Structure 1
Amino acid sequence: MECPKHTSERVFMVCKSCVKYPLVCGVCIEEGEHAGHKLQTLRNAAQSIREDLEQVEKDKCQVFDEIKSDLKGLAKIREDQKMEASRVGDEIIKRADVVKGEVDTVNKEVVEKHKTELDKNTAAIDNTEIALTQQVSRIKMFQKKVAQLQKTNDYVEVIMVARDVEIPVTSRIPKPDIQNLKFLPGTVNGGKLEQMFGTIRRDNATTAMKFVSIVEEEGDGKIKMSSGFVGSTRRKSNTVEPL
């Protein structure tokens, strides 16, 4: 291969002290441009570069696999959130049926708030998925380059390809900021329908809420405002796997 600076000369060395490992010819050395630098033959330099990159891949193999696993695990988080959202939505509908004639307006407001909070969770999952997908893409590109270097015995090609190899950033992406939504039935006080119907509140992702409604009716079908009318909530374990 011709020297990029002295086209009439052929390169036969590599400067390991300079950025991107430039190829060096005899004139380059005579001109003193690489005086005091570490020079290697093409063969030795290619082997050294290949071994360095293979070692990087070996050292980071576990975190590479973990990041790939994180992306797969995100699907479970997304599915759990859909199921949780469906469960909460069903409870809201049941509660609306109990006081349907009087709380249509409040019901609409609560459902809209539920949708807004669910959208926040979905956005958090989407953002995490994008970040993980980008990392996995860079990891695969890096591994593809290393595999290419492993297959070639062309020392110049190894050096030229290695110049553009970018070692991927392998910082772990925090799991999405997911907070379970729970329906909190309110109390009936002075005809405040919003309190009677309940509300949606964000909760952390380690627990889920079970809504228990206790309703009694008079003989004429009207709701009896007993002490247990409001209902109660029960906490249960959420088995969402951390990233």
Structure 2
Amino acid sequence: MDLRTSAQDVMRCNLCETAVAQMHCDTCLVNLCTACVGTHFSADLSKPHTIVDFKDRRSTPLYPGCKFHNKQQCTMYCNQCDIPVCPKCIASDQHLGHKVSEILQVVDEKKENITKEQTELNEIIYPTYQDIASDVQNRMSQLEKEYGDLSTAITKHGEDWHREIDNLVKKLKAEVDVMKNTQFQTLQKHLDEINKTMSDIKDEIDSIYLARDSNNISELFCITTKVDRFRNLPQRILPSLPKFTPSRIIGGELRKMFGTLSSSSHSLDKHEAGFSTPLKQLLDEPKTVTSIDTRYTSLYNVVCLNDEKIWTSGIDRTVNLYSINQGTKLKSIRTKSGNLLSDIAVTKSGDLVYIDSNDGTVNIVKNEKIEEVIRLLNWKPHGVCSTSSGDLLVIMYSDDFKETKVVCFSGSTEKQTIQFDDKGKPLYSLPIDLFIGDKFWYVTENRNLDICVSDWGVKAVVVVNQAGKLRFKYTGLTPATKNKPFDPRGITTDSQSHILIADRNNDCVHIIERDGQFLRYLDCGLSLPWGLCTDVNDNLFVAEIQIRQVKKIKYLK
């Protein structure tokens, strides 16, 4: 085997091509054996050769040559003229009185700046584009389902008609397919553009890596990052579904009687708060903005109506509405049954939802009138949240204390049940006896449509994807602020897809990213935190059970 051409061969001298390279010329970027060092020096006496050990190659800075003074290296930098300069430049009248820095100091600052931009691309902008791509794919999946529902509705209506309308049914369904394909093509084109931009971002990240690690200062100063190009996120395409409106079968013109199909469309929307906002980062020092005294016996839950008002509940039969800025109670609503309530939520339209566990109902308050939305048989609801699609997620346990599950409801219709993992094992803890107050579950939906459950029974946060498949379990990070066991209570998410969990034992809130990686603790002097929610501006509201206060905390830039 020829050692010089073997894939396992060591680095050899570039001159003799035989001996192992022990030295390196950082000026010429040539590998040398000890015997060839002198030969390399004598071959070109026009420039200084910097010979270093092979392991230290490319460690010597390659200073730019001066454009005005031949054979001079620019080891300094004129801050006023914003150019590298050599000693003769500094001594000339051209830079008299100018502030001059060592060029290596300027290089370090340059590397620091491009490293920050690289970090922003790598850790914030690129993941945000991933979120956007995921959102487009989710919308395409939702369109697939809803277009399927639309076709089913048309087919069902067609079954009530005679054979002669079959052609009309086929024509309408064909129109649905055309509109569906048109919208899918639009979304697919949008997704392709996003994926192309994501690829460009990866290329930019790779180019920054190469430039940052280069010892060629001239190349470094030629680098111009393209971060500004990627900061402007693509517009969001919001498809508008056609609506099928059936008509009564009374004879006459079939098309008009059978029903009409509205046209499909889509609109463009900027990615703003409520979706993944790319530029918000955690504050170094989170701060409490305000505190609201609720005067409950014990305060459990808090949910934002808007950026000015919050709903609260505790060991009481009422839900109270408070002004955030004034700290005053604006309204009080008593439960319809007179029972204590377990959890509260606010729908997309701003209506209050509350859980009556003892009565087995989920209720909605519209114009101060209470409507029973869901009544469960053999199950007790405990936690509730409103989803981005307008559905309700309800976590519940069975009357015989043997099962716990999350159910997605559209109105009063059960759409999906999440109860077991891929191996058939329960995802959530089970109530063990009649004293169900000793067990607590809370549920929320993340911006990426993951379903997150805070499960006190297993001392964990259980996160599944939209299809109900287990993604991860977060069991706390020790040592926490007080080095006590993780004790999860309320749970919420923000525009960055962060998951925030109240930890009662450690008087803090855990913040993890959407894939379960721990980011930090928030304490801000909290005492027994329980309920959590965030508003549209990513302010965090924490309900403290014993001191009965709601604290508004700013934790994102």
TM-score class normalised by the smaller sequence? 0.5 to 0.7
Corresponding residue of 1:164: 224
1:196 is aligned to: 257
1:84 equivalenced with 2:143 (yes/no): no
Post-superposition offset of 1:70 = 1.6
CA–CA distance in structure 1, aligned partners of residues 224 and 88 of structure 2: 26
Tell me: CA distance 1:203–1:144, structure 2 relative to 1, closer, same or farther (3 Å). closer
1:177-208 C-alpha deviation (Å, 9 max, x unpaired): 21234332123355121133223234899579
Cα RMSD over matched residues? 4.0
Name which of 197, 203, 214 aligns with 1:135.
Answer: 197
- In 2, Cα distance between the equivalents of 1:25 and 1:180? 67
Could you say if the C-alpha distance between residues 50 and 111 of structure 1 is closer, same or farther in structure 2, counting changes exceeding 3 Å? Answer: same
| 1:123 Cα deviation after fit | 3.5
**Residues 10 and 185 (structure 1), Cα distance of their counterparts in 2 relative to 1, 3 Å cut:** same
Shift of 1:141: 2.6
Deviation, structure 1 residue 100:
5.3
TM-score scaled by structure 2?
0.32
Amino acid at match of 1:49: K
Q: Does 1:71 align with 2:133?
A: yes
Select 1:43's aligned residue among 81, 84, 104.
104
CA contact (8 A) 1:182 1:203 kept: no
Is 2:113 the counterpart of 1:52? yes
Is the CA contact (8 Å cut-off) linking 1:188 and 1:195 kept in structure 2? no
Question: Shift of the alpha carbon at 1:237?
Answer: 10
What whole-Å deviation, never above 9, does each CA across 1:190-239 have from its counterpart, x for those lacking one?
5121133223234899579xxxxxxxxxxxxxxxxxxxxxxxxx998999
Note the alpha carbon deviations across 1:68-89, whole angstroms, 9 max, x for none.
2221332222122122223322
Q: 1:40 to 1:189 in 2, by over 3 A?
A: farther
Q: Quote the Cα distance in structure 2 between the aligned partners of 1:236 and 1:142.
A: 48
- TM-score, with normalisation over the residues of structure 1? 0.65
Per-residue deviation, residues 108-163 of structure 1 (Å, max 9, x unmatched): 44234313322342144124313422432333233223333443444444333xx2
2: CA distance, partners of 1:142 / 1:94 = 53
- Name which of structure 1's ranges 199-208 and 184-193 shifts more when overlaid on structure 2: 199-208
Contact 2:183 2:265 in 1 (8 A): no
Equivalent-residue separation in structure 1 for 2:98 and 2:226 (angstroms): 24
Displacement of 1:49: 0.7
Change (3 A) 1:100 1:188: closer
Contact 1:16 1:37 survives alignment (8 Å): yes
Shift of 1:241: 5.9
Q: Which residue of 2 aligns with 1:145?
A: 207
Structure 1 pair 54–122 and aligned structure 2 pair: CA distance change class (3 A): same
Aligned partner letter, 2:183:
N
Instruction: Decide whether aligned partners of structure 1 residues 28 and 189 sit closer, same or farther in structure 2, where only a CA change above 3 A counts.
Output: farther
Corresponding letter in the other structure for 1:72: S
Question: Higher relative contact order at CA 8 Å, sep ≥6: structure 1 or structure 2?
Answer: 1
- CA contact 1:71–1:133 (8 Å) conserved in 2: yes
Residues 82-108 of structure 1 show CA distances to partners (whole Å, capped at 9, x for unaligned) of 222233223334434443522244334
Structure 2: unaligned runs, 5 residues or longer: 1-63, 267-387, 392-410, 416-444, 450-494, 496-557
Partner-residue secondary structure (3-state), 2:230: coil
Structure 1 pair 40/156, CA: closer, same or farther in 2 (3 Å)? farther
Residue type at the aligned position of 1:44: Q
Per the alignment, do residues 193 and 84 of structure 1 end up closer, same or farther by CA in structure 2, a change over 3 Å counting?
same
Which structure has greater strand proportion?
2
1:207–1:235 Cα contact (<8 Å) kept: no
For 1:133 and 1:17, the matched residues in 2 are separated by 42
Task: Determine whether 1:10 maps to 2:10.
Answer: no
Mapped pair 1:180 → 2:241 = yes
Q: Secondary structure at the match of 1:103?
A: helix
Give, as a single letter, the amino acid of the residue that structure 1 aligns with 2:147: A
- SS of the residue 1:176 aligns to: strand
For the 8 Å contact 1:102–1:193, the answer to whether it is kept is no
Q: For residue 31 of structure 1, report the CA deviation from its aligned partner.
A: 7.3
Alpha-carbon distance in 1 for matches of 2:80, 2:151: 64
Q: Secondary structure at the match of 1:136?
A: helix
Percent identity reads 16
Provide the rounded CA distance (Å) in 2 between the counterparts of 1:188 and 1:132.
Answer: 47
- The one-letter code sitting in structure 2 at the alignment partner of 1:164 is T
> SS in structure 1 opposite 2:261?
strand
Between structures 1 and 2, the one with greater helix share? 1
- What displacement does 1:173 show? 2.9
SS at match of 1:178: strand
SS of equivalent residue, structure 2 residue 243 = strand
Matched position secondary structure for 2:139: helix
Distance (whole Å) between structure 2 residues aligned to residue 180 and residue 91 of structure 1: 14
